[in-house]
Amino acid sequence: MDFEALRSLGRLLAGQQLLLAAMSADAGWDQAIPNAWMASAPRHPFWLFTLAQVIKAAGANLTAADRRAPPACTATVSVHGVHAPAAASERALTGKGEKQSWRKKHVAPASPCHARLCHHPASAESKQCRVARRWDWLEATTGPVMLHAAVAAFRAAGGRGLTVLEPGVIYPVDWRDTISGPRDGEGDAHSACNPLHARFNDTACKLRHPGAFAITYWTHSWGR
């Protein structure tokens, strides 16, 4: 999504079964592998594996308190649950005969949007927090947070044919440096790659990343 090709991808795709790409070398960051660019051969087992996790995580990412809460608060996220299919399906999805332990949980950072806001569902603060929490839920259930966890679980289970390209190859721009950076004033070293800043210059940005095969500036045009 929102990508511009900078050179042929043929060399990257040659001989590969499934390609994802990292935006950051921080393996502990749960958004280090975005889901904006993915390349796959048909019927790769990783996708059925991930789909099964998405279905189960859709409910598991809500706590018991969330399920009891009124509709205004049902988007709260406090646990990132990663659930794989039942043991009977594990062999088909991973190609391994051994039984694997699939369950892994990541406790999310404390959110500033506390349940107390649910007492004031009409307040602007409450509305903003509900939107933020709903976004967090989507990220953990179907977005890069889920993808990051699925990659780790798939590899731990012995899944094969999955390659994650190094940072800079597909994602030369880290959104933490640009759209999360200065939006006005003098800017900083990353402002040339920040579409929200007056110093944005796509030509200058590309020159900063000569080894990139593609680029996105994280404008989220698909969500407008």
pLDDT averaged per 10 residues, the chain (length 224): 93 96 93 96 96 82 51 36 34 39 33 40 58 73 91 94 97 92 86 92 95 93 66
pLDDT at 77: 33
User: Would the pTM of this model clear 0.85, i.e. be above it?
Assistant: no
Alpha-carbon distance values, 222 to 4, 197, 219 (Å): 14, 20, 8
Single out the residue of 221, 218, 79, 82 nearest to residue 136, CA to CA: 79
C-alpha–C-alpha distance, residues 60 and 55, integer Å: 9
pLDDT at 128: 62
pLDDT at 16: 97
C-alpha–C-alpha distance, residues 162 and 152, integer Å: 11
Q: Which residue has the tokens 């950072």?
A: 109
Other beta carbons less than 10 A from residue 30's beta carbon:
20
Alpha-carbon distance values, 84 to 49, 114, 177 (Å): 7, 30, 34
pLDDT at 64: 47
